[in-house]
Structure 1
Amino acid sequence: MKKQLLSFRDFLKTGSLGPIRPDMTMAEIVEVLGTPEHADPDYWTFGKLEISFDIEPPHQMNWFQIEEAGYLKGKSETVTDCFALALDGLSGKTKPSEFLGAGLWLPDQAKVFYATSGHDIGMNICAGLIQIHFHVATDFIGDQDTEAYLGASSTSQSMREIDSRAVLDSIYSYPSPKTEEVPGAFNWKLLSGSQYLALASGR
């Protein structure tokens, strides 16, 4: 069966993946995608697409995500049996600054949250209905404590170092804007998209 080609850029702009919207119910998802590959009562998977539902009827969607988005490559990537994603020049290797500079959102519509996450650094770009999650391994700081590194470095220096090492993890779409900190972190810091771009470029 020929897959319908969907735009990655449109998904990042709108939060909708073609006919898949984050405000759909479980029954509506069945109409579009059919039977899931794996189905828990409140969590379904279709290839790279994973969907969380409310446990109570009508099982409204909590969010959906493209899992392991860091492996997206080439001109297009299969997402489900029905859909492929036209990557539009973006990929799993795209850095936070490149997403922010791609003209997907207004300069300050996007917010960047970052914080220590275990021994490493977690980062989210929140823009409209979309959250893009990145992971930054901190091997480059040696034995230095991650929180101490963020505190001792200038924001410009740390953002340049973080941006070049950030690895795309997953991309979530929510029914309403989710502007929030890195999950599980209590020491999160916030930058606007334009602030982050200026700092990451050393301006």
Structure 2
Amino acid sequence: MKKQVASFRDFLTTGALGPVSPDMRLIEVAQALGSPDGWNINEGDPIPVYWFFGKLEVSFDSIAPYSMNWFQIEGASQLEGEFEPLTRQLKVSLDGFSGATRPSEFLAAGLWDSAQASVYYAALSDDILLNICAAGIQIHFQVDTSFIGDRDATKYLSKSTVLQLVRDIDPRTKVDSIYSCPRKATEELPGVFNWHLVTGRDYLALVR
């Protein structure tokens, strides 16, 4: 199978990663990437519908024709250098981005209309969660919360202004994972946590 190089910038802009796009079906992914390195299968599913190709993971619907739910780059904090091999057949030109790229740097890179991009943040025990959602892409960040010391992250968020919060968090992030979802899928995050929302444009204004 032919080896390919994908543009990371194009992926963030379009949701397509080389030969893989979120509107594909299982058989089309198999044709594009070959057999997966591994998979998970749920009890009752006729076939495995969660596939692993190195750092690339793909989730399919459990009902034929097994359309894609989403795919993700897992372990994205490790992205570095000029190129990153994702699978045996696919490597990515990182185009100046890395796992250390900050949320503000993604938002300022001209990938999306910053007014249409959404930044969600929430607290969970000792963790602070931050995600960018734009054009079918979700970038999930890890936040180093050592700066809050022994304080509970929920209390820190409740007592902080948005300006303080953004300036505290932005330089302390690393990319965790990056998802690409079908355009028909909602870009809003599920309501498991008490998410707060700020537009990408407002986030950039606050961090400057």
Q: State the TM-score, normalizing by the size of structure 1.
A: 0.94
Partner Cα separation in structure 1 for residue 121 and residue 61 of structure 2: 28
Q: Equivalent residue for 1:200?
A: 207
> SS at 2:166's partner residue?
helix
State yes or no: 1:108 paired with 2:138.
no
One-letter amino acid of the counterpart of residue 64, structure 2: P
Partner Cα separation in structure 2 for residue 48 and residue 178 of structure 1: 24
Alignment of 1:72-83 (within 5 A): 72-83=79-90
Q: CA offset at residue 39 of structure 1?
A: 2.1
The percentage of counterpart residues that share the same residue type is: 54
State yes or no: 1:163 paired with 2:149.
no
Partner Cα separation in structure 2 for residue 89 and residue 134 of structure 1: 18
Partner Cα separation in structure 2 for residue 115 and residue 12 of structure 1: 23
Q: Equivalent residue for 2:148?
A: 141
Q: CA offset at residue 91 of structure 1?
A: 0.5
> SS at 1:197's partner residue?
helix
> SS at 2:121's partner residue?
strand
Partner Cα separation in structure 1 for residue 191 and residue 19 of structure 2: 28
Q: Equivalent residue for 1:42?
A: 49
- Give the one of 164, 188, 192 matched to 1:184: 192
Q: CA offset at residue 151 of structure 1?
A: 1.7
Q: CA offset at residue 183 of structure 1?
A: 6.6
Partner Cα separation in structure 1 for residue 96 and residue 190 of structure 2: 27
Where do 5+ consecutive residues of structure 1 fail to align? none
> SS at 2:30's partner residue?
helix
One-letter amino acid of the counterpart of residue 60, structure 2: F
- Give the one of 71, 94, 101 matched to 1:87: 94
Q: Equivalent residue for 1:3?
A: 3
Q: CA offset at residue 154 of structure 1?
A: 1.7
Query: Do 2:125 and 2:154's aligned partners in 1 also have CA atoms closer than 8 Å?
Result: no
Question: What count of residue pairs does the alignment treat as equivalent?
Answer: 200
Root-mean-square deviation (Å): 1.5
Query: Do 1:76 and 1:84's aligned partners in 2 also have CA atoms closer than 8 Å?
Result: yes
Query: Do 2:125 and 2:152's aligned partners in 1 also have CA atoms closer than 8 Å?
Result: no
One-letter amino acid of the counterpart of residue 156, structure 2: Y
Q: CA offset at residue 130 of structure 1?
A: 0.3
> SS at 1:98's partner residue?
helix
Query: Do 2:141 and 2:174's aligned partners in 1 also have CA atoms closer than 8 Å?
Result: yes
Q: CA offset at residue 171 of structure 1?
A: 0.2
Partner Cα separation in structure 2 for residue 60 and residue 27 of structure 1: 9
Query: Do 1:42 and 1:52's aligned partners in 2 also have CA atoms closer than 8 Å?
Result: yes
Closer, same or farther: CA 124–182 of 1 in aligned 2, 3 Å: farther
Q: State the TM-score, normalizing by the size of structure 2.
A: 0.92
Where do 5+ consecutive residues of structure 2 fail to align? 41-47
Out of 140-149 and 95-104, give the one that drifted further: 140-149
One-letter amino acid of the counterpart of residue 178, structure 1: T
Query: Do 1:126 and 1:179's aligned partners in 2 also have CA atoms closer than 8 Å?
Result: yes
Partner Cα separation in structure 1 for residue 195 and residue 106 of structure 2: 21
